[in-house]
Amino acid sequence: MQALSILDTVGNTPLVKLQNISPNPEVEIYVKLEFMNPSGSVKDRIVKHIIEDAEKTGQLKPGATIVENTSGNTGAATAMIAAIKGYKAILTMPDKVSLEKQNALKALGAEIVVCPTSAGPHDPDHYVNTARRIASEIPNSFMINQYDNKKNPEAHYLSTGPEIWQQTNGEVTHYVASGSTGGSISGVGKYLKEQNPDIKIVMPDPFGSIYYDYFKTGKIIEQGACTYHVEGVGEDHIAKAMDFTVVDKMYQFNDSNAFTMARKLARTEGIFAGGTGGANVWGAVQLAKEIKGKAIIVTLIPDNGVKYMTKIFNDQWLSENNIVAD
Ligand SMILES: Cc1ncc(COP(=O)(O)O)c(C=O)c1O
């Protein structure tokens, strides 16, 4: 009998073809079901890679406390891996993170610290600054540091990218992914372009994030916090894990674009995605409308709609927040 640990089930997620959503008969859209990872999101890949590397290099020692700032999914991955490996986990997050995600972290044994979403990147109460302060105060602590850790894109370069290349038999022509740390788009984009430099990498970004303007103008807009409702993509600072040199094109989307597509994915494809899965497929559909000739677009479904039952899939919450989503 093969004695698998929960950690052995990270990665090798299915890639499925959307049957009904592509607006262009010449363009196939494939989605990689990252919610099939054991803690329910794409972030299992990076946290496993970062923790295993830190153990090897001696940065992470027995009995350590792992601290991280997270919109929930990196937290769930950290809490799961800390649980199986016997570390303590303390996780900070903005208060817009859904209650389901917060409670899941507690269920996995982590301590959570909830910070105001309205705190800007220079505010000591910002969730990233709070995590840094906590780590500096606790002896034998280790930060995953997902925003600036080069092991984050490396995890995708070593796993997600090769999987997509193999699962499409090298026929992928476009890769679409919105980003926060940028780890997934940067690592996958680098790997795919090394296999075939003609592959185009496309990034949808929420209105309010600074990434789109930075990509277009090279300038960082100092204009406050990311108050849109999509959780886990777009940024108010430039993460070091984000490599814009692999990005060919960007789109801007709003909550309604992302949530309408997440709901449509559930109803017409049977794929229960979170908001960023909706945003990614929305981006793939914009791209498919523009493409002339045959193309194979791959995008990610980073996490599962179950995590957003009180938000994206709750009509009352949508109307209270003035979000139109069919
Ligand atoms: C739900 C969700 N989608 C997408 C992403 C973006 O992934 P990355 O940080 O690799 O850019 C995140 C990251 O936090 C996320 O939580």
pLDDT, tens only, 8-30 = 999 999 999 999 999 999 999 99
Is 232 a pocket residue for ligand 1 (Cβ < 6 Å)? yes
Tell me the pLDDT tens digit for each residue of 267-281.
999 999 999 999 999
Tens-digit pLDDT profile for residues 51-75: 999 999 999 999 999 999 986 899 9
- The per-residue pLDDT for 223 is 63
Does residue 41 contact residue 73 with C-beta atoms inside 8 Å?
A: yes
Report yes or no: 91 and 97 within 8 Å, Cβ to Cβ.
no
Band (326; pLDDT cuts 50, 70, 90) = confident
Q: Report CA torsion sign: 67, 109, 7, 72.
A: negative
pLDDT at 121: 82
- First CA to last CA across the chain, in angstroms? 48
State the pLDDT at residue 280: 98
**Ligand 1 within 6 A of 160 CB?**
no
Residue 153 has pLDDT above 60, yes or no: yes
Angle between helices 99-107 and 73-85 (to 10 degrees): 10
Indicate whether residue 71 lines ligand 1 (CB < 6 A). Answer: yes
Identify the residue whose C-alpha is closest to ligand 1 atom 15. 232
The chain-wide mean pLDDT, for the chain, equals 95
- Residue 136 clears pLDDT 80, i.e. is over it: yes
Outline where the chain has alpha helix (H).
Answer: 43-57, 73-85, 99-107, 127-137, 151-155, 161-167, 183-195, 211-217, 255-269, 275-290, 315-320
Structure tokens at 37: 């990872």
Query: Domains plus CATH for the chain?
Result: 6-37+156-320 (3.40.50.1100), 43-143 (3.40.50.1100)
Amino acid at the residue 39: S
- Please, are residues 176 and 203 in contact by the beta-carbon 8 Å criterion? yes
